[in-house]
Amino acid sequence: MHLLGPDRVLTHTAQLVPYSYDATPFYQCMPQAVVRPVTAQEVARVLRWCSAHGVPVVPRGSGSGLSGGAVPVEGGVVLDLKGMDRILEIDRDNLTATVEPGVTTLRLGEEVARYGLFYPPDPGSYVVSTLGGNVAECSGGMRGLKYGVTRDYVLALEAVLPSGEIIHTGSKNAKDVAGYDLTRLLVGSEGTLAVITQITLRLLPKPESRRTALALFDDMQQAAHAVSRILQDPIVPATLEFMDRTTLEVVEEFAHLGMPTDVEALLLMQQDGPAPVVDRDMERMAEICRREGARQVRVAADEEEGQRFLAARRATLPALARRRPTIVLEDATVPRSRLAEMVGRIQDIARRHGVQMATFGHAGDGNLHPTALADGRDAQERERVQLAFADIFQAALDLGGTITGEHGVGLAKAPYMVRRFDAATLEAMRAVKRAFDPQGILNPGKIFPPDHPEERR
């Protein structure tokens, strides 16, 4: 395939290996080729060729996904979109940014901050993750409770269908209901319907001020009650994160915040907005935590200390990764009222299967990250981890929750889709897939449950 010139088509094994996996443990498959388009027209050319030859195409950003979404499980061509990394426009009058899919979340955030603007979604991998990947996975982050997720910021898309045709969905208009909402259908479609080549995002004015606090609890139930009380107060904080004892120990060892590590739960709270409101909400949240039995509440003295608290939370994954060779970070999610119950069930399940499990996550969203610390080379331990997660997802579903809050289905959750959805709903999704990709060449093997679920695990 010399569609793009040899310098942008990789075929040597050594070049292909980095594209055989993403940030999800246990999944690896080699592609036949990697191509690096830099325009929508080039993407279209590749897709037309692949359609004509029945070759699978797997779109890829930074490969920081946590559900195996970028793993070329049926081989074929990996479409490396990192080269499409131009910020095309920042429209200060309409509060929008138009970007190519390879721009990183961090870079957009820094760029819009120069104009006093703010792009809220902040997935854990925001330093490296691309906006194309964020859109494909409908990435969340720590600001979901107050600000929503990627879906809530995507206004318009340019995307290439498997046929090579280029479509244009949505618009820069704050309100636009012309035709079906293909924009949000593509958000979270995990590269299985079309390849996104341009994104128009909604921006907000940057919050005027921000304050951060920590609260430490001897009992998980106390922390969960504090979360409920805060939300019922009602306060809608910008961030309301939680860590269990295992997570806290590991993070303290890594970040040296001088926190006691003999507590059962930590809440990380942040509010932003006009200063008087931020101050008032922080006081109220601190008071609620104390009333619910917090052993200690620490309000950050200034922005710098607040940033350190947040950095510690953001360091969770690298901190955990120092403990054991294989870190399986999941995102079972429940309605927020079931948070304490779900944490309890996760602890029971981990104990029963003999799996070391750290749990942290977005308490205000009910979006939990139960994380197994394991050695993936140990087949028996790997089996135990997989059985534990099967029970955890079932527990989430039993509590009215879901199998993924923000990581996507990809390969990792595909076997659980039959538990999450009834047959009619799953078939409606398959019908949408066939409508966009009748040959099934776009990111095959993702989202939909395999016919023989055990094969891919």
Of the two residues 149 and 355, which places its CB atom closer to a second copy in the complex? 149
If one asks whether residue 105 binds a second copy (CB under 8 A), the answer comes out as no
CA dist., res. 225 & res. 261, Å (int):
21
Per-residue binder mask for a second copy (CB under 8 A), 18-57, x = binder: ----------------------------------------
Q: How far is the CB of 240 from a second copy (least distance, A)?
A: 11
Backbone angles phi, psi at 238, to 5 degrees: -65, -35
If one asks whether residue 420 binds a second copy (CB under 8 A), the answer comes out as yes
Q: Which of 47, 95, 251, 266 binds a second copy (CB under 8 A)?
A: 95
If one asks whether residue 405 binds a second copy (CB under 8 A), the answer comes out as yes
If one asks whether residue 229 binds a second copy (CB under 8 A), the answer comes out as no
Of the two residues 84 and 193, which places its CB atom closer to a second copy in the complex? 193
Task: Tell me the one-letter amino acid at 321.
Answer: A
Task: Tell me the one-letter amino acid at 345.
Answer: R
Residues 63-82 that bind a second copy (CB under 8 A): none
If one asks whether residue 328 binds a second copy (CB under 8 A), the answer comes out as no
Stretch of residues binding a second copy (CB under 8 A), selected from 31-39, 52-60, 97-105, 135-143? 135-143
Per-residue binder mask for a second copy (CB under 8 A), 336-355, x = binder: xx------------------
Closest CA to 392 of 343, 446, 354: 343
Of the two residues 20 and 270, which places its CB atom closer to a second copy in the complex? 270
Q: Which of 45, 210, 314, 362 binds a second copy (CB under 8 A)?
A: 362
- Return the sign of the alpha-carbon dihedral for residues 108, 299, 296, 255: positive
- The DSSP call for residue 259 is -
Closest CA to 238 of 356, 336, 143, 317: 143
Of the two residues 16 and 426, which places its CB atom closer to a second copy in the complex? 426
Of the two residues 182 and 250, which places its CB atom closer to a second copy in the complex? 182
Task: Tell me the one-letter amino acid at 351.
Answer: R
Backbone angles phi, psi at 346, to 5 degrees: -60, -45
Closest CA to 68 of 19, 25, 129: 25
DSSP alpha helix (H) spans, 8-102: 13-16, 40-53
Residues 235-274 that bind a second copy (CB under 8 A): 236, 273-274
If one asks whether residue 179 binds a second copy (CB under 8 A), the answer comes out as yes
Task: Tell me the one-letter amino acid at 456.
Answer: R
CA dist., res. 249 & res. 338, Å (int):
25
